[in-house]
Amino acid sequence: MSENIPVVVTTDANNDFGIVRDENNRLIWRRLLVVPFPIDEPSDNIEPMDIDE
């Protein structure tokens, strides 16, 4: 049986990592954020965009 735990989701200063902490400020999850293209709205049909360098 699972239970719902309130969490706080933040990013680091450079938005490189997603950080999830519980209500006692204990680290639950930290992961490198990899988003190769901007996402304006959730979609089932996400296609890569051409990015000018």
pLDDT of residue 1: 62
Phi, psi of 4 (to 5 degrees): -85, 130
53 belongs to a structural domain: no
Q: What is the pLDDT of residues 1-53, one digit of tens each?
A: 677 878 888 888 777 888 889 889 898 888 887 655 555 655 555 555 565 64
Residue 2 structural domain:
1-33
Number of domains in the chain: 1
Residue with tokens 């992961």, as numbered in its chain? 31
Altogether, the residues listed in the chain come to a count of 53
13 belongs to a structural domain: yes
51 belongs to a structural domain: no
pLDDT of residue 33: 75
24 belongs to a structural domain: yes
4 belongs to a structural domain: yes
pLDDT of residue 48: 58
Give the neighbor-by-neighbor strand order of the sheet with 27-32. 7-11, 17-22, 27-32
Residue type, 32: L
The span from the CA of 46 to the CA of 15, in Å, is 22
43 belongs to a structural domain: no
